[in-house]
C-alpha cells in the first residue's frame, strides 16, 4: 500500500472526492434502467390483451344489448349509466321494438348485464336474417353484428383467394376473429 501512496501523491483526497461522484452516477444510471424496464412491463400487457380479445377498451362496464336494436352486441358504457344509454350505444331501438315490454330504461347498468329490447309479437323482425358468408357483399358483411369494415374486407379477400369458407368457425381459426365477436356474429351468418 505504501507504493500506491508514493506513485499517486494525494490519492486520499482524490478518493474522498471521486468515490461519491462514481456512486451517484451509478445510482442515477440504475434508476433510469429500472424505470425504463418498469414502463416497458406496464405497456406490454396492455397492448397484448387489447389486441387478443378485440373487445371494446376495458374502461367502464361491459353490457350485452340484444333484441330490437339497430346493432346488437357487446358495448362498453360508463359506470353509473342507465339502460337507455346502452340502447343508445347499440344505435337505438328499431321500429319492431315493443314499447309495452321494454326494460326499465332508468335502471342503472351492472357489469356483465344483458339488456334485451323485446320485439312486437308477430313482427317480421323476430326472425333473424342470415347473411351468406360465401356470397355476401362487403356492405352486407359490414352491417352484420360482430363485423368491422376492415374484417369484412378480410373475409372477402379470403373468399376470393381461397375459394370460400367450409365452416363458420374458420372466422376464428383462420382469420383471427375474437371469440366474443364470433359468438355474436354466428347467429347472423350461414354458408
User: Can you list the domains of the chain with their CATH numbers?
Assistant: 61-125 (3.10.20.600), 131-190 (1.10.150.320)
Average pLDDT across each block of 10 residues of the chain; the chain has 191 residues. List them in order.
59 70 76 66 44 58 87 87 89 82 87 86 58 81 80 86 83 81 79 77
pLDDT at residue 12 in the model: 73
Residue 67: per-residue pLDDT: 86
CA distance 95 to 105: 17
* Alpha carbon separation from 150 to 13, 70, 141, 160, 175 (Å, rounded): 69, 20, 10, 15, 12
Closest Cα partner for 110 from 90, 146, 86, 145? 86
Give the Cα separation of 98 and 28 in Å (integer).
67
d(CA 151, CA 12): 71
Residue 44 confidence (pLDDT):
41
> What global pTM score does this model have?
0.38
Amino acid at each position: 500500500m505504501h507504493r500506491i501512496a508514493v506513485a499517486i501523491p494525494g490519492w486520499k483526497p482524490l478518493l474522498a472526492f471521486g468515490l461519491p461522484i462514481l456512486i451517484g452516477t451509478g445510482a442515477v444510471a440504475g434508476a433510469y434502467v429500472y424505470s425504463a424496464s418498469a414502463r416497458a412491463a406496464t405497456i406490454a400487457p396492455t397492448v397484448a390483451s387489447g389486441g387478443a380479445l378485440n373487445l371494446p377498451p376495458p374502461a367502464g362496464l361491459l353490457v350485452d344489448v340484444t333484441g330490437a336494436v339497430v346493432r346488437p352486441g357487446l358495448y362498453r358504457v360508463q359506470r353509473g349509466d342507465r339502460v337507455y344509454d346502452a340502447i343508445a350505444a347499440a344505435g337505438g331501438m328499431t321500429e319492431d321494438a315493443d314499447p309495452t315490454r321494454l326494460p326499465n330504461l332508468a335502471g342503472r347498468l351492472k357489469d356483465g348485464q344483458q339488456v334485451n329490447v323485446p320485439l312486437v309479437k308477430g313482427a317480421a323482425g323476430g326472425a333473424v336474417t342470415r347473411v351468406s358468408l360465401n356470397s355476401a357483399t362487403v356492405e352486407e358483411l359490414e352491417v352484420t353484428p360482430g363485423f368491422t369494415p376492415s374484417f369484412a374486407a378480410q373475409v372477402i379477400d379470403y373468399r376470393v383467394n381461397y375459394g370460400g369458407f367450409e365452416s363458420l368457425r374458420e372466422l376464428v381459426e383462420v382469420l383471427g376473429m375474437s371469440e366474443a365477436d364470433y359468438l355474436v356474429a354466428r347467429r347472423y351468418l350461414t354458408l
